Amino acid sequence: MPRPGRLAAELSLSVVSGAALALCLPKPGLCFLGWFALVPLLVLLYRAAPKRAAGLGLAAGAGFNGLAFYWIYSTCRFASVPVPVALLAWGALTAFLALSWGMIGWLGAKLANRLPAAARAFGWALVWTAVTVAWERWTPRPCADLLEYTQWKHLSLIQIASVLGPHGLGLLIAWVNASLAQAWLESKPLRPALPVALVLAAWGFGRHELASRPASEKTVPVEILQPDVDEYAKWDPGSAARIDDDFSGLLGRPRSQDPAIVVWPEASVPRILPDGATVPEAEGWSRKLKAFQIVGAVTQSGTELFNSAVLLDAAGAFRGVYHKRELVPFGEYVPFAFLRRFIGILDELGGIAAGAADQPLLRTPAGPAAATICYEAVFPRWTRRDAARGAGVIFNLTNDGWYKDTWGPYQHFETNVFRAVENRVSVVRAGNSGISAVIDPWGVVTARLGLDRRGRLDAALPAQDPFPARSFYARHGDWFGTLCLLALALLAANGLLLSRRA
């Protein structure tokens, strides 16, 4: 057992290692740290027994998630949540999200450290990736720690996600870090040669993909409304008329051509609408502009409330609705009812019901489309599910006004770039306070309206879908993640066999 002073130093170093990785994310954007931020942690894990490795992993996970999600505390305070409750919310989320890091540490020390030296670094990368896959697929955690997100600035590198999905680049990043750690311990500088060569191959693939990106001659004009409504006053009874005037002011601005589609942000209408009905605030504008409208609204069916995206046609008639599937804990539902009195305005509407996993696609002038609302964009499975059913455009309606100018809106925005690349779909993002944008299937942001700005973004989508068959990942699912899970199972079986022989 390590001495208390040494253990404290190792735990501190693990926290710093995890926090350094968080600096890769928007807004700091120090993406280069992604290739070696985990080296100090892995140096410790290579020499740790399983229980100690689990503790070091938990510490690193706390460092990463505590920094990456500091804005949870800020959001609670913006909503006048008492300081102790805000600290508890931030700490509880950090601890929960760190659990997967503890599992990585325990499993890696149990399995990867027992592999031959030539395979040990890859074993750690495999464990890291497989555990991340399991948590991303089967838990409701917002996976900001997908390692691919650390390279959000580098479009060439992330193109490989169209084939390998959200975990391929992550495995390479973990492998480089693990190889550097092993090279340090063994004084063998060539250990990272193979993973670095594969990273260069992925970069070359991405360069080729971006070079083949065509210019679209025919386009579908799209308008995105960003009213920048104060979320903390939105549901006040006296605010409805002013909010309606804000939208009318944006829609009444001069334009060079009429849009085919107008996109409103999440919960644009400050009242509850009957499910399956038109939206009076948008209906007249549909007819005036002869444009489809996609409107974020809270709808009600019977006793159930849904966070919805309502589609109106050019005549203002109802043509479809999408109900949000992945709900925000403590924002759209409260797991434990007694906590409601502590979170105030964050639980303004009470419980929201989740929509069905597969819902009819929206038929728009830009072709078959689907919607994600708010932080659903963080979960790769939902966009892939809709792309596999034929959606070529994803409308992401959100309201990041809760988070003001913290890291949160920037992190949230960049996940949409990865969903576009992974599935080879266009993403149209409408945010109440921003960031609103159009992202093409290569992850290129073709139009953007920044955070905390009021305005209308006039943009365009390609009239001809450049990827009618979608991506390999969209067609075949997360095959790479499944392969990693199977490989981990084989590694665990091998470890069990070795334990019985010992």
| Contact yes or no for 380/387 (Cβ under 8 A) | no
Inter-residue long-range contacts of 355-360, CB under 8 Å, 24+ positions, other chains counted: 355/306, 355/308, 355/322, 355/323, 355/324, 355/325, 356/323, 356/325, 357/325, 357/385, 358/385, 358/389, 359/322, 359/323, 360/320
Residue 329 gets which letter from DSSP?
B
Cα–Cα distance for residue pair 130/149, rounded to 1 Å: 17
Cα–Cα nearest to 169, from 184, 154, 191, 190: 154
Task: Decide if 324 is catalytic.
Answer: yes
CA gap 219, 233 in Å, rounded? 38
Question: Residue 296: beta bridge partners?
Answer: 309
Record the tokens describing residue 51, joined without a space: 């229980």
Catalytic residue among 374, 376, 422, 484: 374
Instruction: Please state the separation of Cα 49 from the chain's center in Å.
Output: 33
Residue 415's Cβ-side half-sphere holds a number of Cα atoms within 13 Å equal to 24
Q: Mind listing the pLDDT tens digit for each residue in 200-252?
A: 999 999 999 999 998 877 899 999 999 988 776 666 666 677 888 888 999 99
| Chain position carrying tokens 């109440």 | 432
Q: Which two tokens stand for residue 305?
A: 């409330």
Q: Which two tokens stand for residue 335?
A: 């797991």
Backbone CA torsion sign across 270, 271, 272, 274 = negative
Distances (CA, A) of 348 to 60, 88, 104, 232: 35, 20, 38, 10
Catalytic residue among 231, 266, 283, 376: 266
The answer to whether residue 136 is catalytic is no
DSSP state for residue 93 in the 8-state scheme = H
Alpha carbons 70 and 437: distance in angstroms, whole number: 25
How far apart are alpha carbons 354 and 332 in whole angstroms? 9
Which of 10, 223, 234, 324 is catalytic? The answer is: 324
Domain boundaries, the chain: 4-211+478-501, 219-465
Catalytic residue list contains 223: no
What pTM value is reported for the model? 0.92
Q: pLDDT value at position 143?
A: 85
Residues of the chain with pLDDT under 50: 338, 345-346
**Is residue 158 a contact partner of residue 151, using CB atoms and an 8 Å limit?**
yes
Question: What's the CA gap between 69 and 91, in Å, rounded?
Answer: 10
**Strand 261-263 relative to strand 219-226: parallel, antiparallel, unpaired?**
parallel
The CA-based diameter of the chain, rounded to the nearest angstrom, is 78
Q: What is the pLDDT of residue 286?
A: 95
Residue 140, CA distances (Å) to 57, 93, 318 in order = 20, 12, 32
Q: Does domain 219-465 have CATH number 3.60.110.10?
A: yes
